[in-house]
Chain A
C-alpha cells in the first residue's frame, strides 16, 4: 500500500503570494515527481528527483522550484503566484532499487486556484 501525502488539498490564493505545496512519502522511495494536470490534458512532468540533493526540470517548463533535502519530502514552491498557475499538482514517487519496476504511486493532488 502506497503512502504519499499532499497538503494542502485545495488552496485559493491571491496573485503575488508565495505558496508551497507539500509532498511526503513514507515508503523510502528514491525517486519523486511533480506533475501538472489540467482538465482534458495529459499530465505534464514539471520536476523530478532521483535522490537527496538531486532535482531536475521536467518536460513542461514551470516557474515553480523544488527541493529534496530529505528522502521523504519533496516540496514545490511558487515565489509569486499568478492566475496562469491555476491547476492541479500531483506528486508521485517510485522505488527502482533492487530491480523494482518503477511504477509511480500518486498522492491525491493539490488543487491550486490563483485569483
Chain B
C-alpha cells in the first residue's frame, strides 16, 4: 500500500541548533514530494517541493530537503533553528498526474531557548 511515514512525532531542539525531520514514502514510482509547515491555528504553508532534477532542494525560511531514491526518503533540514520555527511539519507526496496529496502524520517541533 502507498504510504507516507514521519517516524518522529515530536522533536525538541535548542535555538541555534540544527534540525532534521525524517520522511519516508512507499510508492511504486518516484512521487512528487513536498514539505509543509503549520503554525498553531493556521493553515499549511509550502516550505519546498521536489519534482525532478537536483536532489537537494532549497525552500523558504532557510529550509532544505534532500531526496534519496535508494532510501525512499525526503528529509527536511535546517542548519540553525529559530524560535519561530516551532510548528508542525508535514511531509506529503503526490503521484505524477494525480494531484491529490497524501500526508504524513506530522512532526511537532518545539524550540527551547
**What is the interface of chain A, defined by CB distance below 8 A to chain B?**
4, 6, 31, 33, 35, 40-43, 45, 48, 58-59, 90, 92, 94, 96, 101-109
Chain B positions near chain A (C-beta within 8 angstroms):
4, 9, 32, 34, 36, 41-46, 49, 51, 90, 94, 99-106
A48 to B98 CA separation, bound complex (whole angstroms): 12
Known: A42-B104, A90-B43. 20 other contacts (CB 8 A): A4-B43, A31-B99, A40-B9, A42-B4, A42-B90, A42-B102, A42-B103, A43-B44, A43-B103, A59-B102, A90-B44, A94-B99, A101-B32, A101-B49, A102-B32, A104-B34, A104-B46, A106-B36, A106-B44, A108-B43
Q: In the complex, what residue of chain A is closest to B4 when comparing beta carbons? A: A42
- 8 intermolecular pairs with C-beta atoms under 8 Å apart: A31-B99, A40-B9, A40-B105, A42-B105, A42-B106, A45-B102, A90-B43, A92-B44
Q: Which of chain B's residues has its CB closest to A94's CB?
A: B99
By beta carbon, the residue of chain A nearest B43 is A106
Contact among B9, B43, B90, B100 for A48, CB-based, below 8 A: B100
B60 → chain A closest CB, angstroms: 12
A35 to B25, CA, bound (A): 20
Q: Which residue of the partner chain, among A31, A45, A94, A107, contacts B43 with CB atoms under 8 Å?
A: A107
In contact, B43 and A109 (Cβ under 8 angstroms): yes
* Shortest Cβ distance from residue A109 to the other chain B in the assembled complex, whole angstroms: 5
Q: Which 4 A-B pairs have the closest CB atoms?
A: A106-B43, A102-B99, A43-B103, A106-B44
| Cβ contact of A108, chosen from B32, B42, B102, cutoff 8 A | B42
A23 to chain B, nearest CB (A): 11
- Chain B residues within 8 Å of A106, by CB: 36, 43-45
Chain B positions within 8 Å of A4 at CB level: 43
